[in-house]
A and B are shown apart, each in its own frame.
Chain A
């Protein structure tokens, strides 16, 4: 039987040199370390062996020779990773709603947002890439920690220029991305502001980062929000500058790149898998969302939710009773599993996680762990999730 696959797409936006390629190399390379392979409930496998080897080479080059990856030039690469559960209990494996969570991560030359391409072929590639990027589930916008340091005392100038470039780049590409002029249903509706190279700013936790962004770029974020609204159907279902995270792919010191000293990289998979699901429930509580939009709002959310609370069907009513009032979603025939999966409290998640582990249902264990990881990330001041 073919494996059943759930796709989650992530778009990482950032200027040239902001750390996009280092981040994807660190994400993949760390998952190939023997400690991860032994301890994790899942394997991260590159669907294209050649591309996987390229990322692994980047990672090993950083780890063993302190050589950063070469600059991405002239072409974008969609890296497709399959998160494959290890063999657990056969019965649980047969019952699970999917076998593989696929993460598609688009990497592209940073200058494509800021400059006109140098050739017709490059221009065509840029349009294709941004069409793909704009169908992702989550977008992460990198704020370069090195540039914050370089502009110490004048951070506002850099931050405004970054957001202006993104806004302007989106406007320039709008006609190409909306090929028939129609706004998109499938679109990254969560735009996370992420501090990259966070190791360079050890005193900045995610709250300080959020405050810096809001204090200096509130109007610019509002303008970016307006531009993004022009791309989508149901523009109220859009979180821009409401979620924040810290990212550090490695610690760069002279002559050495400490790839084990990462920050936030381990939250990428939980963010990609769980944040759209949580947000879909939050939005459904406070606004009417057309059915066709709802289905694409967090593509595959029901399937993920079903997997997360696998084996809990009999307890679902009990779980829901314990939850706070859940708004119009239930009234509209909302999906109890989805609500439960999005709103389970930490204690309940831990219980389901422990039971799934005991039953060797590694998919349910992994997904509950993703939600627990996000909670822990908040306690560690690494991520702030929107509560709106």
Chain B
């Protein structure tokens, strides 16, 4: 699953919890979101990719009281499946098909005092969706 997921916790700041196997997820993230307005809910196709943003479905907030946003860039399909990006035609599609992939993990980490590392998150999510964890170095 090649998905970039950027969000924050209650106290820890914005970071990439999934890097979509990109060595530099920031560039891919900014490419996808550069052309979009600062809307709290959006779904925009950028070439073969989709930029998706929605506020936390459970209204979880950071320490300053701001609703936590979830930003995704859907890069490529799950193996042997229709490209995930092609299935997400609206924010509601994202909430139904993308959010369930990460919601359990986020529930466990959002209130931690320190940010989790991306490798731990990736492994947890791959277990969550029944994929074998990727080995280091691939």
Contact = CB atoms under 8 A, between A and B. Distances in A.
B133 interface: no
Contacts of A122: 26
B25 A119 contact: yes
Contacts of A121: 24, 26-27
Contact of A120 (B15, B24, B30, B66): B24
A176 interface: no
User: Chain A interface secondary structure, helix, strand, loop or mixed?
Assistant: loop
**Interface band, chain B:** 20 to 34
Contacts of A115: 12-13, 15, 114-115
B48 interface: no
Interface string A21-60: 0000000000000000000000000000000001001000
Contacts of A146: 64-65
A73 B38 CA distance: 12
Contacts of B6: 73-74
A114 B25 CA distance: 21
Interface in A172-203: none
B80 to A, nearest CB: 30
Interface residues of A, number: 26
B118 A118 contact: yes
B111 interface: no
B115 A70 contact: no
Interface string B1-44: 00000101000111110010000111101100000001010000
A109 interface: yes
Contacts of A110: 13
User: Chain B interface secondary structure, helix, strand, loop or mixed?
Assistant: loop
Given A119-B24, A120-B24, A121-B24, A74 B14 contact: yes
Interface string A138-150: 0000001011000
A120 B65 CA distance: 29
A25 to B, nearest CB: 12
Contacts of B19: 119
A147 B65 CA distance: 11
A122 B26 CA distance: 8
Contact of B66 (A71, A74, A109, A147): A71
Nearest to B39: A70
Interface in A62-117: 68-71, 73-75, 109-112, 114-115
A111 B12 contact: yes
Given A16-B62, A146-B65, A111 B24 contact: no
B18 to A, nearest CB: 11
Contacts of A74: 6, 14, 26, 29-30
B94 interface: no
B73 to A, nearest CB: 13
B103 to A, nearest CB: 20
B25 A111 contact: no
B112 interface: no
Contacts of A112: 13
Contacts of A54: 38
A163 B111 CA distance: 23
A57 B16 contact: no
A70 B13 contact: no
Interface string A1-23: 00000000000000011100000
Given A17-B62, A115-B115, A70 B69 contact: yes
Across the A-B interface, give the 4 residue pairs with the lowest CB-CB distance, nearest first: A111-B13, A17-B64, A118-B15, A73-B14
17 contacts: A17-B65, A70-B38, A74-B14, A74-B26, A74-B29, A109-B14, A110-B13, A111-B8, A111-B13, A112-B13, A115-B15, A115-B115, A118-B15, A119-B16, A121-B24, A144-B64, A147-B63
Given A70-B38, A109-B13, A115-B115, 4 more contacts: A16-B13, A70-B69, A71-B62, A74-B30
